[in-house]
Amino acid sequence: MSRRTIAIISIALVVVLVLGIGVFALTRRGKGETTTNERESGVSRVTPVALPSGTVTNIGSGGTTSGPWYELRFTAPMYPDNLANHKDGLDTHLVTLMDKATKTLDVADYDFDLANVADAMARAKKRGVVVRMVTDTDTLTDTKNKEIQSAFDKLKVVGIPIVDDKRSPIMHNKFTVVDNEWIETGSWNYTDGDTYHLNNNQIIIHNPQLAQNYTAEFVKMFEKKTFGPNKAKGVPNPVVNIDGTRIENYFASEDDTIGNIVRTVNNAQRSVYFLAFSFTQDDIGRAMIDKQKAGLTVGGVFETTGSQVPTSEYGKMKAAGLDVYTDGNPWVMHHKVIIIDDHLTVFGSFNFSDNAAKSNDENLLIVDNPDIAKAFKAEYDRVLALAKNPPAKKK
């Protein structure tokens, strides 16, 4: 073999090695193999495939249900997009809640670009409310998106302090606490895209005990400046009862989120349905497969992006015969929800992954309430119908 041939082969091997390392790095962002679809900052700003002129599809249910102590809502995106429809969304209800604040307003939000939410926080500050914010460093330092920086500037100009996590794993919470009495949480980031493109859920709860939990979690991040597994363990009220509804409340990374989800799935007697933006956690997936083998009805919808990677539970469930689909939203299906036996619902910011459990900052509710479960099941049915008959294939 000539020296020239050897040199060419050597160069080719180096190129292959470099490309391989690059792909590996992209799929292992941060600590613990954070996939690009789990690191969701910016997903709401993705441009979807265009539909034929004149075709309009309702992507979400826009459903709502309420009780004496809660308000539960879902997004109602329409496709193709029309800025004229960007009104009366989940953001308006958060603004109404923030405008109630008389003493304190604590906001922990992963992705942030809504001007009206920033304005509500600034108004609260001006009327004497103590306003504080925790966010993810990737969001705070995102100078490419002018809407993000404009929203943060509204806070900075009135002196609202902002603490970011300063680490590679993500501060992934999306919650607000008002006057240590009200909380707002769910899968919904405070962005225009999350509100008017993505399938999301939002719940507003009036309960001082639950608010105490979220305030304690906020203090760990804002005052103690501890994040992920470095946070102190424990929550003031891990189980709260409100008018006959039992609510379990957990936070990552300090609580056993996966263990409690698996326990809840294992106790299912009739049915398990789920909606998952990112589902790579084997223990939860295995528990669902076992329930299907035991004769229960098990079904789910995965966000399409990332569902085909080897670590996703989608392929394993499909092979096991579960009734699972990839979603039909041309943008993103962003829920993280499990509905069990028509009365239990698991939801919050928590994606079903080891990263969420071991590295990120997350919150999780397990709510035993038939009306709330019914509302989530209606959203599931709508997302499932769209998955079976999508308006356009994703790129």
- 27 lies in some domain: no
- 395 lies in some domain: no
pLDDT of res. 16:
38
User: What CATH number is associated with residue 173?
Assistant: 3.30.870.10
- 184 lies in some domain: yes
Flag whether pLDDT at 50 surpasses 90. Answer: no
pLDDT of res. 328:
95
DSSP 8-state code for residue 89: S
pLDDT of res. 73:
98
Task: Pick 65 or 10 by higher pLDDT.
Answer: 65
Query: Residues 326-349: pLDDT tens digits?
Result: 999 999 999 999 999 999 999 999
Burial classification of residue 233, based on how many CB atoms lie within 10 Å of its CB (0-12 exposed, 13-18 middle, 19 or more buried): exposed
pLDDT class of 52 with cuts at 50, 70, 90: low
Phi, psi of 25 (to 5 degrees): -65, -40
- 7 lies in some domain: no
Strand duo 162-164 + 130-135: pairing: parallel
- 175 lies in some domain: yes
- 380 lies in some domain: yes
Which residue's entry shows tokens 């308000």?
71
pLDDT class of 45 with cuts at 50, 70, 90: confident
pLDDT above 90 covers what percent of the chain?
A: 83
pLDDT class of 48 with cuts at 50, 70, 90: confident
Query: What beta strand segments (E) does 199-258 contain?
Result: 201-206, 239-242, 245-252
- Between the two ends of the chain, the Cα-to-Cα distance in Å is 45
pLDDT of res. 111:
98
Length in residues, the chain: 395
Query: Residues 73-111: pLDDT tens digits?
Result: 999 999 999 999 999 999 999 999 999 999 999 999 999
pLDDT of res. 20:
40
Retrieve residue 363's tokens.
Answer: 């919150």
Distance CA 61, CA 200 (A): 10
Domain that holds residue 95: 65-388
**Phi-psi map region of 162: left, alpha, beta (phi>0 left; psi -120 to 50 alpha):** beta
- At 143, is the secondary structure helix, strand, or coil? coil
pLDDT of res. 36:
44
pLDDT of res. 9:
44
- 278 lies in some domain: yes
Give the chain's mean pLDDT. 90
Flag whether pLDDT at 213 surpasses 80. Answer: yes
Domain count within the chain: 1
Flag whether pLDDT at 388 surpasses 60. Answer: yes
- 273 lies in some domain: yes
pLDDT class of 56 with cuts at 50, 70, 90: confident
Task: Pick 154 or 23 by higher pLDDT.
Answer: 154
Flag whether pLDDT at 54 surpasses 70. Answer: no
Strand duo 297-302 + 323-326: pairing: parallel
**Phi-psi map region of 169: left, alpha, beta (phi>0 left; psi -120 to 50 alpha):** beta
